[in-house]
Structure 1
Amino acid sequence: MAFTPRVFSGIQPSGDLHLGNYLGAIKRFVPLQQSHHCLYCVVDMHAITVWQEPDDLRRATREVAAAFVAAGVDPKKHIVYNQSRVHQHAELAWVFNCVARMGWMSRMTQWKDKTAGKNAEAESLGLFAYPSLMAADILLYKATHVPVGEDQKQHLELTRDIAQKFNNDFAPSIKVQSLDADYFPITEPVITGPATRVMSLRDGQKKMSKSDPSDQSRILMLDDADAISKKIKRATTDPEPLPSEEAGLKARPEADNLVGIYAALADATKTEVLRQYGGQGWGVFKPALADLAVAKLTPVADEMRRLIADPASIDAFMADGAERASEIAERTMSEVRRIVGFIR
């Protein structure tokens, strides 16, 4: 079956978007608009798998939506919305809960990471089962492509497994309904660019995260020019100059991270960056990276602030996006209900 080229991706509104969110996801959303029909979702239902203060959740949801638009996503030509407005996400997730298997969920690396050293039985069922909701997010729209970072690749593989099992389990019913045998697509990941996984500015072996105790470990999307510059210039590095070839970065995580950030901001490759800066010291490279980051990030931050100051405008384009998303979602769910045998 030939599916319409369609992109779905979502970001959790868990507060304080940072450079990793921007380079790993949001910045890559924009060019996909030229070749695909795109749905970009603020996945607020995923956010509540761990406790969220309600007011903070509302604020963070609007911040993520503002970041999408400030980065260049067009909410009129494409769809920007928050997940909880489209009830079919939860409905399809329940169907997938009954298709997926406990063993699949328990093998998820992020589940293991989040419960390491803790009492896993005290965690929410939502946290354990949320990869099923992620599969529903994607397959509800029969998305053919999903831009993901390396850390989400396993979850997309699970989505593919769920799609395949659903297609196989319900093959007779799908045939009776005169639908294509491959009812759900086997979604392809889009993992491109030099900074699909941005690391901490203090430790090149740890992912950049808002939960890191050091504020110097991350650049927030709403940081001003002075904060961006200072954080980059204080970033942890080794004493050696930059290598001339990319292979020279392999055993140097901090150097690899900073070169990757420069490359992603400049829309270049690491090889091109090293062609320009190879052999030079950090006293040259860090100021150049700081200037580039300020030039690229501050216009996005300024536009985010403008949008956030008018929350009604954000709510309006999310409501419009949710209405259009619901039309697609209901077409899928009306078919799924018939396929699984629900009487309507």
Structure 2
Amino acid sequence: MTRLSGITPSGRVQLGNYLGAIRHWAKGSGDDLYFVSDLHAMTTAYNPARLRSLTTEQLAVLIAAGIPADSVFVQSDLTRELGALTWLLECTCTYGEAGRMIQFKEKAGAKSGKGRTGARLSLLTYPVLMAADILLQGATEVPVGADQVQHVELARALARRFNATYGEVFPIPRAVLPPVAARVRDLSDPSRKMSKSTRDSVGVIFVLDEPDLIRRKIRRAVTDGATETISAEPGNPARAGVTNLVEILAACTASDPDGAVAGIGSYRQLKETVAEAVIETLRPVREGATTLLADPAELGRVRKTGAGRAAERGEHRLSAALRLAGAGQ
């Protein structure tokens, strides 16, 4: 069984990414694979220099988090392989299948009929690229959120159709919903998730933030005027800020919310406790990633090695697919 997970460099890696996914990836099996999906970040307007910088940062964070270097690669380092396989799969996919993808409809404005002419074609076709990501590596399980299940189903359909039409090449992947992870909300607006792509970063803790900056952000976190015992109350919007802080503390200390706040008697004490827990949780990752980023030659070596292994893993599938489809020798 091979699991494949990706993270898109649409912004700097933040606390929610780490607590919800990356730290669990570091505990995965030796057959699990992880990649920085920088090509997926190109489906809307972007800055090339920033994309390159974010991709490098994300790679460093994944390695520093403890994910084996030979299990990590950058998507764009496989452009030759992915480009060829994506074309084969586009020739297998119908327009109707691509057009039914919910994310395309939402992002392109297809539901309202507005904005469709300005949408990039890549918004329509990127689920096929995602299918190529999965099928090239022979992944059998793809942990995704509910919003991505439809894309994995497309990969399943294309794999089955290709195998039935040309010959057996690809394992049939399936989407798996990861275990419920820490629910990290924006510190300044707990009605929304903490996001690496938000324009206002005042409520977002980034993995590479310095300790003093983390303390300042948490001290400014929204709470409420209640005087009750400090506790998590999921589903109560009036206490969303406090609930967020309590759940962050519980996730960082590997405890239940009630146990995490035992003995804490004020919001000030809660914020100071949360700040120290977050700082200590992120410290080894921040220090490791900073060291890697300060040594471009070493990080480049790690990246090149990961790309080579990823290409090698998919070489026989791509060659077989090209040959069976009539495009290879």
> Shorter-chain TM-score: which interval?
0.7 to 0.9
Contact 1:42 1:64 in 2 (8 A): yes
**What are the within-5 Å matches in structure 2 for residues 103-182 of structure 1?**
103-116=96-109, 119-148=115-144, 150=145, 153-168=146-161, 170-171=163-164, 173-174=166-167, 179=168
Q: State how far apart, in whole Å, the 1-side matches of 2:17 and 2:105 are.
A: 22
Contact 1:108 1:155 in 2 (8 A): no
Distance 1:155 1:231, change over 3 A: same
Q: CA offset at residue 101 of structure 1?
A: 4.0
Q: State how far apart, in whole Å, the 2-side matches of 1:27 and 1:98 are.
A: 38
Query: Partner amino acid for 1:167?
Result: R
Q: CA offset at residue 242 of structure 1?
A: 5.8
Q: CA offset at residue 319 of structure 1?
A: 0.5
CA RMSD of aligned residues (A): 2.7
Query: Partner amino acid for 1:330?
Result: E
Aligned length: 321
**What are the within-5 Å matches in structure 2 for residues 1-344 of structure 1?**
5-32=1-28, 35-75=29-69, 78-86=70-78, 87-116=80-109, 119-148=115-144, 150=145, 153-168=146-161, 170-171=163-164, 173-174=166-167, 179=168, 183-195=170-182, 198-240=184-226, 241=228, 248-252=233-237, 253-268=240-255, 272-277=256-261, 281-344=266-329
Q: State how far apart, in whole Å, the 2-side matches of 1:255 and 1:300 are.
A: 26
Q: State how far apart, in whole Å, the 2-side matches of 1:276 and 1:317 are.
A: 38
TM-score, length-normalised on structure 2?
0.86
Q: Deviations over 1:229-271 (max 9, x none)?
A: 1212211223344676x7x412234344333322332234xxx
TM-score, length-normalised on structure 1?
0.82
Secondary structure at 2:206 match in 1 = coil
Secondary structure at 2:129 match in 1 = helix
- Identity in percent: 34
Q: State how far apart, in whole Å, the 2-side matches of 1:319 and 1:338 are.
A: 27
In structure 2, the gaps of 5 or more residues are none
Q: Deviations over 1:121-145 (max 9, x none)?
A: 2121112321221221122112123
Query: Partner amino acid for 2:74?
Result: N
In structure 1, the gaps of 5 or more residues are none
Q: CA offset at residue 295 of structure 1?
A: 0.7
Q: State how far apart, in whole Å, the 2-side matches of 1:69 and 1:320 are.
A: 13
